[in-house]
Structure 1
Amino acid sequence: MAGCFHQKTLKLLGILALGAFLPGSGVAGSYGAGISNSQWYLAESVFECSLVHEVPGYGRAVFSHRAGEKLSFFLESEAHLMRPGRGSLVVEAPAWRPGVAPRPVGAVNVTEGRRPVSLDTRHAVILAQSLLEGMRPTVTQDSWYDGSPVRVQVSNINFSGQYQRYRSCAANLLPVNIDQVGRSRVTFVTGSKRLSQADMNHLDNIVAYIMADSTVERVFVDGHTDDVGSRIDNRALSEDRANVVADYLKSRGVAPDLITERSHGDQYPASRRQAENRRTTIRLQREGERPGLQQANGYGSASAG
């Protein structure tokens, strides 16, 4: 209890100290860039495209689009100005467009941490469209300090040009990200070692990621079977399953010396369901990652080494 009180006290002191540098009375008020200081920046790669906007006195507004995912939006701040709870999102006209009525978008969930507001794809698209229309999305929530409203406005100035660059960036993103292919698997029917078209499509995505990420230093390919049949036959079948996946990766351009193939037979079941045990797992290890001591019995896991 004392530790919790201490943390809240430190947070309040930080907010009060910040208030000396913010406009208006106390810490509550409106935060947003004006005509002279509104800028948008694009950070682009084949892994992610991010449109970043500095909100003076508050932090940043970011549209983020990771490979293999859709557009999202979040506010980022070190100040912890907003009280956690239910806030509102409204699209407003800038001051130089009087008479244009604001459009409510809906409620937003405000949380603690560096990213108090995170929006899904639908709301991120609504925000982007409103900015292209010359409007200003505004998030409002009570302040930590005294409960008065904190308004964070996202400026449309200089947005359009950078958004067009973002669209070009998004068109060249990889089909997947490391979270989607870093640990994955291919499953087989009983006694089979054949790849389906869906399997090959998935492996093509893995290859695309490996070819783009120079930090991938090892690719572990581990073959497995269920426990039906003899252990000798299962060991041979698991080797064939590892080989067929590894050979496909090599045929698509992955360097053979990058791949480590292993076969385990029925030694490491992943589940009580036999269908989930007939598999080959693929794990990508990047520079700086410690492989650790892992068994080959989990989804997408590989054995030690």
Structure 2
Amino acid sequence: MRQRYLALLSVFASVPAMALTFQTRLESIEWTVEGDKFECRLTQPITDFGAGGFVRRAGEQATFRLTAFNAMIGGGSATLLAAAAPWQPGRGDINLGSVRIGSGNVLFDTSQVQAGRLISGLLDGRSPVIRHSSGDGRVSEVRLLPVRFSQAFNEYQSCVAKLLPKNFEQIRQSQVGFSGEGLDLDARAKAQLQVMLEFMKADPTVNHIELDGHSDNSGNRLTNRDLSRRRALAVMEFFKANGVQESQITMRFHGERYPVAPNNSAANRAKNRRVAVRLERVAPTEKATPQVAPQITAPGSTSATS
């Protein structure tokens, strides 16, 4: 291990001539792990520059993010490398493609594929390197070192295991389907709603649910309207049975009026038999929405309420 550390001290030998390199001294290298149910971060501070590390949101794979205190490197694009370790002669750097440098404190987020390859490289003793060439030929490099990465990565994986199944953007709107003239929630529908419930429990600011019931055109207008109402009620009852207050739910039903697909096949009609569920953040000072809102009326139609 001591030989590896000594070899790291010669890392500048692989840097292009006249390059300005940012990296933390070997004895000061640290990886920090932070996170909660919504996001996990594994970060290495970079002396006189900023930080680099991995960010994984609930429901997604990790990306690699580079942040800077100031505009330390210019704009444009840079090359991302998984650089070979000096103590492993004969191994070349792995070019992971380019990244676009931004103008704010967050210089870039890589793709999930690039981040996955950087993690594999770090576990194999490679260094993430960002190499940027300016228009006048000057080269800047930002380098992270793999020292103590494996231990920190295990801690990061423990954080990842506690992430919610999905993030807010992924679950804020969902379509719950129904088979035939059925009114009961099947296992798939309950699983969808359970994910939403889990998020609401973790984030109390998500405190309101909008339900819109729909049907296909198989029955007459009144029958379809009643089916859409009862399906929306089934979803409402599921939420109420799991601790959501009725005052937090707004329900509407529309019958066959708003199809998402033409009712010209069994597959399309199945798409139209649905309850649209939308989660919202409603500030306490906002006027509470009635539990059951009037049915939306299309232009030229006769108004109907629930």
The reply to whether TM is greater than 0.5 is yes
Cα distance in 2 for residues equivalent to 1:173 and 1:127: 21
Provide the residue aligned with 2:159 in structure 1: 169
Mapped pair 1:279 → 2:270: no
CA contact (8 A) 2:31 2:45 kept: yes
CA distance 1:133–1:256, shift in 2 (3 Å)? same
CA contact (8 A) 1:82 1:150 kept: no
Residue 192 of structure 2, aligned match among 202, 227, 238: 202
- Report the equivalent of 2:12: none
The aligned residue for residue 178 of structure 1 is 168
Aligned to 2:84: 92
Q: Is the 8 A contact 2:73 2:132 kept in 1?
A: no
**Unmatched 5+ stretches in structure 1:** 1-26, 298-305
Conserved 8 A contact 1:93-1:100: no
Deviation at 1:191, TM superposition (A): 3.0
Alignment of 1:201-220 (within 5 A): 201-220=191-210
Match of 1:74 among 65, 77, 81: 65
In the alignment, what sits opposite 1:132? 123
Q: CA deviation at 1:201?
A: 1.5
**Partner Cα distance (1:136, 1:288) in 2:** 46
Q: Identity over aligned residues, as a percent?
A: 29
* The 10-residue stretch of structure 1 (103-112 or 178-187) with the greater mean CA deviation from structure 2: 103-112
For residues 222 and 161 of structure 1, do their structure 2 counterparts lie closer, same or farther at Cα, with a shift above 3 Å needed?
Answer: same
Structure 2: how far apart are the matches of 1:187 and 1:197?
A: 11
Structure 1 residue 193 displacement after superposition: 2.5
Question: Could you tell me how far 1:223 is from its partner in structure 2?
Answer: 0.8
Q: Which amino acid aligns with 1:241?
A: R
Q: Given that residues 268 and 296 in structure 1 are in contact (C-alpha distance below 8 angstroms), is that contact kept between their aligned partners in structure 2? A: no
Structure 2: how far apart are the matches of 1:228 and 1:28? 71
Q: Give the direction of change, closer, same or farther, for the CA distance of 1:202–1:109 in structure 2 (3 Å limit).
A: same
Aligned residues: 266
How does the TM-score come out when normalised to structure 1?
0.75
CA RMSD in angstroms, aligned pairs only: 3.1
8 Å Cα contact 2:210-2:278 kept in structure 1: yes
Number of the residue aligned with 2:234: 244
- AA aligned to 2:94 is P
TM-score, scaled to structure 2: 0.75
Counterparts of 2:273 and 2:50, CA distance in 1? 50
Q: Cα offset for 1:86? A: 5.8
| 1:74 Cα offset (Å) | 2.2
Following TM superposition, the consecutive aligned residue runs of length 4 or more in structure 1 with deviations greater than 6 angstroms are none
Alignment-mate amino acid for residue 41 of structure 2? S
Q: How far off its partner does 1:180 sit?
A: 0.9
Farther off after superposition, 115-124 or 218-227 = 115-124
Q: What is the Cα deviation at residue 283 of structure 1?
A: 1.0
Q: Could you tell me how far apart the structure 2 residues matched to 1:251 and 1:62 are?
A: 42
Aligned to 1:157: 147
**Contact 1:63 1:124 (C-alpha < 8 Å) held by counterparts:** yes
Shift of 1:190: 4.4
| C-alpha separation in 2, matches of 1:159 and 1:98 | 17
Which of the numbers 253, 259, 263 marks the counterpart of 1:263? 253
Show structure 2 runs of 5+ residues with no match. Answer: 1-17, 288-294, 298-306
1:171 is displaced (CA, Å) by 0.8
Does the 8 A contact of 1:250 with 1:256 survive in 2? Answer: yes
